Amino acid sequence: MKKNLFTLILIFSSLFSFGQEANEADTLRRDALRVFMEADDFIRQEISYINYVRDIKDAQVYIISSDQRTGSGGREYTYYLVGQHEFAGMKDTLQFVSQPDATENQTRELKASTLKQGLMRYVRTTPLARHIHISFDQPVSEEVITDNWDSWVFRTSVNGFLNGQKTYNSNQIFGSTSASRITSEWKMDFEAEYSYNLDRFEIEDEIIKSVNRSKSFDALLVKSISDHWSAGGSAEIKSSSFNNYRFKATFMPGIEYDIYPYSESTRRQLRLLYSAGYIYQAYMDTTIYDKLEEHLAGQKLSAAYQVVQKWGSINLTMDWFNYLHDFSKNNLSLSGNMSIRIAKGLNFNFGGGASLIHDQLALVKAGASTEEILLRRKELATQYQYFTHFGLSYTFGSIYNNVVNPRFGSSGGGMMIIMN
Query: What is the average pLDDT across 311-332?
Result: 92
Q: Please write the tens of the pLDDT for every residue from 76-95.
A: 888 888 888 888 888 888 88
Q: Is residue 327 part of a domain?
A: yes
Q: Is residue 399 part of a domain?
A: no
User: Is 0.85 surpassed by the pTM of this model?
Assistant: no
Are the beta carbons of 39 and 418 closer than 8 angstroms? Answer: yes
In total, how many domains does the chain have? 2
Q: Is residue 207 part of a domain?
A: yes
Rounded to whole angstroms, what are the CA distances from 146 to 100, 113, 172? 19, 26, 41
Helix ranges restricted to H, 64-195 = 104-123
Rounded to whole angstroms, what are the CA distances from 278 to 233, 275, 302, 323? 12, 11, 18, 10
The distance of Cα 387 from the centroid of its chain, to the nearest Å, equals 19
* Structural domain containing residue 301: 152-382
CB count within 10 Å of CB 149 equals 10
Query: What is the average pLDDT across 46-73?
Result: 82
Which of 188, 63, 45, 194 minimizes the C-alpha distance to 109? Answer: 45
Q: Is residue 79 part of a domain?
A: no
> Mean pLDDT in the chain?
83
Q: Please write the tens of the pLDDT for every residue from 283-297.
A: 999 999 999 999 999
Q: Is residue 369 part of a domain?
A: yes
Q: Is residue 331 part of a domain?
A: yes
Which of 87, 97, 95, 74 minimizes the C-alpha distance to 123? Answer: 87
pLDDT score recorded for residue 402 = 57
At residue 109's C-alpha, the angle toward residues 105 and 110, to 5°, is: 120
Among the residue ranges 25-34, 128-137, 196-205, the one predicted with the least confidence is 25-34
Domain identity same for 241 and 373: yes
**Residue 382, C-beta contacts closer than 8 angstroms, at least 6 positions apart:** 357, 360
At residue 233's C-alpha, the angle toward residues 232 and 237, to 5°, is: 160
Q: Is residue 396 part of a domain?
A: no
pLDDT score recorded for residue 156 = 93
Among the residue ranges 247-251, 277-281, 305-309, 335-339, the one predicted with the least confidence is 305-309
Q: Is residue 72 part of a domain?
A: no
Are the beta carbons of 307 and 264 closer than 8 angstroms? Answer: no
Are the beta carbons of 92 and 121 closer than 8 angstroms? Answer: yes
Domain identity same for 16 and 157: no
Cα-only R_g, the chain: 29
318: pLDDT confidence band, cut at 50, 70 and 90?
very high
Rounded to whole angstroms, what are the CA distances from 267 to 66, 88, 186? 7, 20, 22
399: pLDDT confidence band, cut at 50, 70 and 90?
low
Percent of the chain at pLDDT > 70 equals 85
Domain identity same for 206 and 344: yes
SS3 category, 328: strand
414: pLDDT confidence band, cut at 50, 70 and 90?
very low
**Residue 137 clears pLDDT 80, i.e. is over it:** no
CATH number, domain of 221, equals: 2.40.160
